[in-house]
């Protein structure tokens, strides 16, 4: 085991928009953040998004991967070197700080505060967390863009924006038949109106993954857009209070969790409408709250 000989002001877990924003602000405020991510690159889900992010008013037209590149550049310019490919194995709470054990070599990092910015993952069929079976795509991202839809019969499961947007995407790319199965339709009307009504089946339905059928109708491809669940892994051991939907509960003004040394930002806490801009704002909230705490108790 390697033990880092310095005490960081905050250990930030997750190098997506929220974690990067928090790290950059802490560094520029004169503090020492340790930014950690299990992935090999900065960017979180942005890195997996090949589409233009037209919702980001500060970077119109940039793809998710380009946004991720800018996040990495911001870290570099702020003098923050992220610890990548370092999954967190354990976080241990002490009376006046925390220790985080990182893989693959059990490196021990000490910090005054812990910031969870671990994001979300797409919910799979039946809560399965393993790899999706052949012929099933789970959640949005590059795997959808790389799929050849020409001539395929496609079932899209889910009633939100992602389901309808990706159904329209499959239609535009030559799918022979696309049907949306939604227990309830929650998508924006601008997307719903573009889908022919006969291709939207609303209500309960039955899926047979092995046979690739929905309500007995055969498909070549099933796309699953059941929403998101928090990536909280090791954080479950911290026994933090959670909201009704299972996301980590936080103070609205500070992002502090039920533990006084732990903050949660971005989509793992679902504090605001999920997007890059709100995640970055969350990072600033936590950074300023940590600054206030450190300066108060110096």
> Any idea which architecture 3-122+228-296 has in CATH?
3-Layer(bba) Sandwich (3.50)
Per-residue confidence in pLDDT tens, the chain, 298 aa = 676 779 999 999 999 999 999 999 999 999 999 999 999 999 999 998 888 888 888 888 899 999 999 999 999 999 999 999 999 999 999 888 999 999 999 999 999 999 999 999 999 887 555 567 889 999 998 899 999 999 999 999 999 999 999 999 999 999 999 999 999 999 999 999 999 999 999 999 999 999 999 999 999 999 999 989 999 989 988 999 999 889 999 999 999 999 999 999 999 999 988 899 999 999 999 999 999 999 997 6
Domains 3-122+228-296 and 125-224 alike in fold: yes
Which pLDDT does position 105 carry in this prediction? Answer: 93
Which pLDDT does position 3 carry in this prediction? Answer: 65
- Could you tell me the residue ranges of all domains in the chain? 3-122+228-296, 125-224
Answer whether 0.85 is exceeded by the pTM.
Answer: yes
Domain boundaries 125-224, CATH class = alpha beta
Widest CA span in the chain = 66
Which pLDDT does position 54 carry in this prediction? Answer: 84
């Amino acid at each position: 085991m390697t033990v880092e000989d310095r005490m960081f002001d905050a250990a930030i877990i997750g190098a997506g928009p929220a974690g990067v924003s928090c790290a950059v602000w802490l560094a520029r405020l004169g503090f020492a953040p340790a930014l950690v991510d299990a992935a090999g690159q900065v960017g979180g889900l942005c890195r997996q998004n090949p589409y233009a992010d037209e919702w980001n008013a500060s970077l119109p037209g940039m793809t998710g991967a380009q946004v991720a590149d800018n996040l990495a550049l911001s870290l570099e310019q702020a003098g923050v070197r992220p610890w990548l490919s370092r999954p967190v194995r354990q976080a241990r709470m002490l009376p006046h700080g925390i220790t985080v054990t990182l893989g693959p070599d059990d490196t021990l990092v000490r910090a005054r505060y812990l910031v969870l910015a671990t994001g979300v993952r797409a919910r799979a069929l039946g809560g399965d967390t393993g790899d999706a079976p052949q012929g099933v795509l789970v959640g949005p991202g590059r795997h959808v863009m790389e799929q050849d839809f020409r001539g395929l019969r496609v079932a899209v499961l889910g009633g939100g924006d992602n389901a309808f947007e990706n159904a329209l995407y499959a239609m535009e790319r030559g799918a022979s038949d696309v049907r949306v199965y939604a227990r309830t339709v929650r998508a924006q009307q601008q997307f719903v109106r573009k889908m022919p009504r006969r291709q939207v089946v609303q209500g309960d339905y039955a899926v047979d993954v092995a046979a690739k059928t929905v309500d007995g109708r055969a498909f070549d491809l099933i796309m699953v857009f059941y929403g998101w669940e928090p990536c909280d892994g090791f954080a479950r051991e911290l026994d933090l209070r959670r909201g009704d939907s299972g996301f980590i509960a936080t103070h609205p003004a500070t992002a502090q969790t039920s533990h006084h040394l732990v903050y949660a930002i971005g989509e793992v806490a679902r504090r605001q409408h999920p997007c890059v801009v709100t995640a970055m704002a969350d990072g600033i909230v936590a950074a300023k709250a940590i600054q206030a705490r450190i300066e108060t108790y110096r």
